[in-house]
Structure 1
Amino acid sequence: MATPTTWRLLPVLLVTFSYRCCSASGPPAPPSNLECYRPCDQKDCSVIKCIWDPKPHPGAPTIYNLHWKPENAEDEHVTNGNSSDGLIHRENFVSHGNLRVWVQARNEFGSVNSQEIVIHTQDIIKPPPPTFVSSHQDPLEIHWSSICGELQLSVGLCDVRYRTKDHQNWIQYVYNLSSSFAVMEPQPNIIYEFQVRCQCDSSLISDWSPSYTIKSAESAPVGEVDAWWDCGQLLSSFDCFLNWKNLSVSQARGYILGYEVKFCYNNGTVQQMNVSTDDPSCLFLYDKMKWRLNLPLKDMSSVNVSAYNALGATKASPLSMPTSGKQANEPTIYLDMNEQNLTVSWNLPSKFFDSVKQYVVQYKECQPGNSFDWIKVDKNQMTAFFRGAFKRYTSYQVSLFTVSNFNEVSQLATAIGYSVQGVPSRVPSFETLNFSGTGVTLFWEPVPSSNQKGVILYYQIGLNTQKVYNVSVTPDQENMTFKLWDLSPGQEYKVWIRAVTVAGPGAEVTTTFKINHDEDYVYLIVTVVVLVFLCLFCCMLCFFLRTNKICPVASQCLYEKVPDPSNSHIFRQMKHQINEPLTWICDPHNEPYPSISVLEVVEKKEFDPDRMRKETSCYQMDCQDDEREDPITENGDSTDGRYGRKEYSKMVDLDEEKNDCWSSSEEEQSISGYEKHFMPSALEIMVE
């Protein structure tokens, strides 16, 4: 009884058996494309070689035999051959005659013949390829020879094909030639590669000869040198470096001996430099494709670069310093980038076409490196293509420039691209800036471009694993902030941040904070305000004390009626205490007041103006002397500067009697109520 496994294997066995049976039986397929010729060497053409396409049977080995016989004969000749060709030796055929040729394929199941062909032994001669004998550069011409004469055959026609060294495909074929060929208007200083094939009489044409190369003659270079700036972000002449590329072979038209560089400065001066290709200066770097002046150009307005060879020079290519010419509607650059290619496309308004001569697209590695290149395209082209090896996880800055009809260079837009993007690094710092009520401001530094590993799409901020916020970014942001609201006072919060690219989010950076109660802020504010007012009050008090402006007020309040002792020599020794009122108001440890033992008795006299004028000189001298001693009194009129009123002002010692020149009438006018009440009169003193 058949099991389920047997039923499943039965179809497979049947298919295998039928295939083996069908494939193992039956003769092979007939050979095809039978062809015979007489290959010749430098001496003769001794054999006939026949070739065909075999079609062996996959299930059984196949044997191939080459059959031939003269066209009008019955005798058949056979020679064993391999799977694809066979030989008929010279003794088996005549030089001039027809042969009937076919191939038989045979295996254990039977045999089959190919299609029969009829050949003429003289017409199937195939001479060897011709050989090149000479050439000329100017004009570009080649000569060759064949062995038709040695084979006692007349020289037939030849074919020529050629190409330049930079092309893989043959660019032109020329037929029916004899022994020479010249290129009309060849490209100067270009390596040309030639091949020739010939036939003798009506024989078969030979194979192509080995390649023959020759370099065309030099000529003066044409076109312009492709020069460009490598500048920093600010596009200033302080960080711009001059670069230029080698001329193409078609432009150089010979061996370039050197470059001539002319520098034009803002002040109108011109400096010229000659750069030799064989022995360049140490100021120049050369990588077999580009030249770079390893010196920043300062105060430069433009440069001109031209190349020269032994026969002439190109015209100077003017290059102005680039400027940041961003428009109101800045164009957008679209990048399609991988590790091998970079395609840049853009769209501009039609108004640009009138003034634009060409576009320049450049890329440079954002990190310090040598990856820098540019392409100049026509103004009608909106795409640029770069081929190169672009590093993984490395940022490249792509910039679009325009060159006007007046050779003015302006930068229009920039973009950052990556060949392969990765997960970004952590943000350098993350902290809370300030608190306001129930909110907090977060601050972080963006991930540096060297660690981004991709275009940062946004930053994610998480709060206590409850909420996640996505914060968008712009290329020119130097720092980032975000505010969190509706937080609870007194609660501790944990917040984290991470950067996100197309490859995914980066590592998280976490910080914690706590919102204080509002009452704490009120107490703190009140305390700070009180302390500030106390400090201000103390400062004002010290200021007024030092400037002697508060003691007069205090003295007026404490001592309303105090005689002025400024005119007494007895009190002049205490002028410092009097001039510093706080000394006797505030300090209880002052020296005891001197006792006044003798009072000056002044007789009352009538006011005499004439006498007063006579004594003016004495008065002025005394007043001047008093002013030097005490600047408070002025013109003999004792006015108390501390109290703002006139009090007792004419108290002197007996020693001063002989020098005083006071008027009795003036003294009577100056007697105050204090003196009348407390001071004894002159009569009372004399009586006593």
Structure 2
Amino acid sequence: MSQTCSVLIAAALLVVQLCMGEKSCTIWSSAGAVVQRDTSFDVYCTFNCKCRGSMYSGHPSTPQNYTELNSTTIYFKVVNITKNRTYSCQCSCSTTLDPCGLDIFTGYVPDSPKNLSCIYKVLNNKSGDVLCTWNRGRQTFLRDKTQLWLSTLAGNHTSKPEPHNVSSKGTGPLSVTFTVLRSVQLISVCVKACNELGPVVNATVEYSLTDIAMPLPPVLGRPECSSRECVFTVEQPVKTQHLQIQYKAAEQKWTSHPDLSVPMSSVPAQSISSLEPYSLYHFKVRSRFSTGLWSQWSTNISSWTQEEAPAKELDVWYAESECGSKSPRVYWKKPQISIARGKILGYRVRVYCPGSGLDRVTNISQDDRNYSVPTCANGEVTVWARNSKGLSPPATITHHTKAKSSQDVQVTTGIHNVTISWREPETALLPASYVVEWYPEGQKLEELRWVRLGGSEGHAVITGIKPFECYRGAVYVFYSDSSVTRMVFSGVTTLESAPEVGPSFQETFEGQIVKVTWTELPRSKQRGCITNYTIYLENSSGHLQRYSVPASVRTYVIQPLSPAVYSLWMTASTAEGEGPMGQQMKFLIQQGTLLTNVLVFGAIALIVVIVCLCHFSAVNQKFWVFCQCLMLDVVPDPANSKWAKECTHEKGKMNLQQQHSNSSTTEEEEEPILVDIEELPRQSGNISTSQLPPQISQSLDATPPYPATTYIKSLSHDSDSSEHTQSTTVDYISSHCLGDMEEDQEEEDQEEEEERLGFSPSHHLFSGPMSFGGKLTLDAVKIDFCSDFFQDG
């Protein structure tokens, strides 16, 4: 029976051994499983059988260079360990045995607690909570256990120390809270901390609860505010002896009211005065017992004070357009809240022109900042701001563009600002104030800005200057006698580069003269202040000409060009360089265009001179005689023409008809032919047109109303091929083209004959008196007129 039990016990031990897994070795550390960091120690392995063993460290396992202590033991020397490590050993004598391993934990002994402090938060009249905090020191990297030990003194009774466990998780300061009755006068506290490396205890600290007593934060009620004062209530669970109130407006700093805390009144209502109208104020409050600590600040509350009428006049300025094409405008700045004292509902503008009687008041929207005004001498513009409580004081500005100008201004540019400085004007009067205005070039009315300075200032720093933008402006100096001087500046920019594009232009031609007109570059493409434009002109031979034009000019005329094909393009430049060329245009200048224009202008000028000279009677007669020299020496007989015969067919009537001929040849008459001239009776000093053909009557009616005669020239001959009579008739109706045809008749007879026929002198071209009487022969017409033309009149 006993043998059976022995076998069973042996079998059970074998099963247990197989289940647990037999180790091939034993491993241990000379410093234990928990060691302090930055220390050195040895790790040993002893094998259960004779074999060749090995040692490993880390995850994954890394072979270590061990040292053999004897036939069954090896060891590895660990130097200045800094973190947790795992070591293991293995034997090759049997594959059924497991390797042995050891985990080494590293860390530090806890530091002594530092900066221990306790406060007593009074909850009510019976008890309060004590909160103690301290710094734990450096992290131990081990599992720490921390306790605060507390003992109290109430009257003559001292309690035994009691531990209060503290959670040591995290890395921040440690704290613990416990309840203490109001009857306790003193408390004693100490902190104990420990881990596997050892414990640490700080010295005991005693506190008087009256010294560390702190009331809970007060609760503020909703303020009730007028324009200058706010009143609110303060609620506290425990009565305190001191109250401190702080307030601020917008982004200002907190201000205490009063400057030092004062005993709290028994009345819970508190007031803050000397506030600004229409301002958002924030309030907070804290309290304190007669001794002890101030409570934490209450939650902030906010409220607006009520409005008042605006306190000051607006900042008003006046400007005219750079080109003068737009109406001048008056500008004003939106007042700050401290000046507006309320929400601005709109503006009121009055324009007064004493010379024209204009006195107009206009209400402007709250969003507007300028108003177009008429230009008038000695005009005044007054602007008011309006809120729910009334109008601001009036701001009046007069026309200041007649100010004298000078250039006594220096400009210093920075990366983000520009400094405008000036010399004090050399006048008997001291400057009362300055106004510096500036604006992007060409955008005066749209983006005008200005700043007002005192009379003692000598410079202004302008901010908000956009890079790659060209600015100009002026400094206005105002004197006590209302006089104004102006100092201008231009070409101001903070950053600059060459223009991005070239100008867009158009060319027009007047003969061989080319006129180029271009527009200003877009503002975003100028990249600074344009200094000049360059026009490039290249002919078909490759000859290139450049024309530099100032930045203020938009038109350039190129003088007469020789005939060729031309290419034209333009560029713009800043102080940093020349930009790329813009569009390129080609055009042709043709041959003879200039000569034709010169001849046309010369002919027009000659005609104008002749017409002017013909207004003189003596010159008029000389020209008529000269024209007679150009006529044929042999004058054909008009009496034998068909037209003359038809005209004399009926007595007292003239039948004027124009017949066209197909032949242009004439023959001279061999014999003189007499022509009968019949004088028609005068009717009101003019020849009657009632008996003329319609076409002739209309022609006579269209002539000016001076005495008219009819000069008839007839060319007739017999054709060689037929008996057809070819005639050419020319009708010239004028009172100044008839002259005396007899050489020996005196000038006095001519005047009598003209008076008898009803002619009067006139200043018509080629005019001269001519009389009719008796028989007119062609021989009598053959007179040398040229001899008189070159004689002195």
Residues 132 and 142, structure 1, Cα contact 8 Å, conserved in 2: no
Q: Do residues 81 (structure 1) and 159 (structure 2) align?
A: no
TM-superposed CA distance for 1:430, in Å, is 7.8
- Per-residue CA deviation, residues 159-178 of structure 1 (Å, 9 max, x unaligned), is 23222235244476622312
Distance 1:274 1:30 in 2: 80
Aligned in 2, Cα 1:418/1:527: closer, same or farther, shift over 3 Å? closer
List runs of 5+ in structure 2 lacking aligned partners: 1-78, 85-104, 153-157, 615-619, 635-647, 649-653, 655-663, 676-706, 712-738, 750-778, 781-793
Equivalent of 1:48, from 130, 133, 148? 130
Output the amino acid matched with 2:295. S
Q: Do residues 427 (structure 1) and 427 (structure 2) align?
A: no
Output the amino acid matched with 1:132. L
Output the amino acid matched with 2:119. Y
Distance 1:495 1:328 in 2: 39
Residues 458 and 470, structure 1, Cα contact 8 Å, conserved in 2: no
Residues 345 and 365, structure 2, Cα contact 8 Å, conserved in 1: no
TM-superposed CA distance for 1:251, in Å, is 2.5
Distance 2:600 2:351 in 1: 69
Distance 1:328 1:138 in 2: 48
Q: Do residues 375 (structure 1) and 451 (structure 2) align?
A: yes
Report % sequence identity.
17
Partner of 1:39: 121
Partner of 1:162: 247
Distance 1:73 1:269 in 2: 99
Residues 163 and 192, structure 1, Cα contact 8 Å, conserved in 2: yes
Equivalent of 1:415, from 480, 490, 497? 490
Find the structure with the greater CA-based Rg: 2
Per the normalisation by structure 2, the TM-score is 0.53
Q: Do residues 315 (structure 1) and 393 (structure 2) align?
A: yes
Partner of 1:499: 572
- Per-residue CA deviation, residues 314-355 of structure 1 (Å, 9 max, x unaligned), is 4321111341535243535555575xxx54523244337724
TM-superposed CA distance for 1:304, in Å, is 1.4
TM-superposed CA distance for 1:207, in Å, is 1.0
Partner of 1:456: 530
Distance 1:365 1:535 in 2: 47
- Per-residue CA deviation, residues 462-492 of structure 1 (Å, 9 max, x unaligned), is 899x999998765423346899xxx9x9999
- Per-residue CA deviation, residues 553-585 of structure 1 (Å, 9 max, x unaligned), is 468x969xxxxxxxxxxxxx9xx9xxxxxxxxx
Residues 344 and 385, structure 1, Cα contact 8 Å, conserved in 2: yes
Distance 1:248 1:552 in 2: 95
Aligned in 2, Cα 1:533/1:263: closer, same or farther, shift over 3 Å? closer
Output the amino acid matched with 1:346. S
Partner of 1:203: 292
- 3-state DSSP of counterpart to 2:339: helix
Q: Do residues 346 (structure 1) and 421 (structure 2) align?
A: yes
Aligned in 2, Cα 1:413/1:540: closer, same or farther, shift over 3 Å? closer
Distance 2:112 2:334 in 1: 60
Distance 1:37 1:512 in 2: 93
Aligned in 2, Cα 1:130/1:186: closer, same or farther, shift over 3 Å? same
Alignment of 1:33-432 (within 5 A): 33-41=115-123, 45-53=127-135, 55-57=137-139, 60=141, 63=144, 65-70=146-151, 75=161, 77-82=163-168, 83-90=172-179, 95-102=184-191, 104=193, 117-132=205-220, 137=226, 140=229, 142=231, 144-145=233-234, 147=236, 151=238, 155-165=240-250, 167-170=252-255, 174-179=259-264, 183=272, 185-216=274-305, 219-229=308-318, 231-234=320-323, 239-254=327-342, 259-267=347-355, 269=357, 271-273=359-361, 275=363, 284-287=364-367, 291-293=369-371, 295-299=372-376, 301-307=379-385, 313-323=391-401, 325=403, 327-329=405-407, 331-334=409-412, 336=414, 343=418, 345-351=420-426, 354-363=430-439, 366=442, 371-384=447-460, 398-405=473-480, 412-415=487-490, 423-429=499-505
Distance 1:94 1:122 in 2: 11
Residues 404 and 484, structure 2, Cα contact 8 Å, conserved in 1: no
Aligned in 2, Cα 1:453/1:367: closer, same or farther, shift over 3 Å? farther
TM-superposed CA distance for 1:460, in Å, is 6.4
- Per-residue CA deviation, residues 82-107 of structure 1 (Å, 9 max, x unaligned), is 43232232279982223133474x67
Q: Do residues 445 (structure 1) and 518 (structure 2) align?
A: yes
Aligned in 2, Cα 1:442/1:108: closer, same or farther, shift over 3 Å? farther
Distance 2:509 2:199 in 1: 97
List runs of 5+ in structure 1 lacking aligned partners: 1-16, 276-283, 560-572, 577-585, 598-626, 632-639, 651-673, 676-688
Residues 39 and 47, structure 1, Cα contact 8 Å, conserved in 2: yes
- Per-residue CA deviation, residues 180-239 of structure 1 (Å, 9 max, x unaligned), is 665564434444433221112322210112234455565554321222335321468x51
- 3-state DSSP of counterpart to 1:232: coil
- Per-residue CA deviation, residues 481-536 of structure 1 (Å, 9 max, x unaligned), is 899xxx9x9999977643344497334555679999xxx99x99799789979997
TM-superposed CA distance for 1:366, in Å, is 4.4
Residues 109 and 198, structure 2, Cα contact 8 Å, conserved in 1: yes
Give me the CA root mean square deviation: 5.9
Aligned in 2, Cα 1:321/1:27: closer, same or farther, shift over 3 Å? farther
Residues 324 and 411, structure 1, Cα contact 8 Å, conserved in 2: no
The structure in which a higher percent of residues are helix is 1
Distance 1:527 1:375 in 2: 59
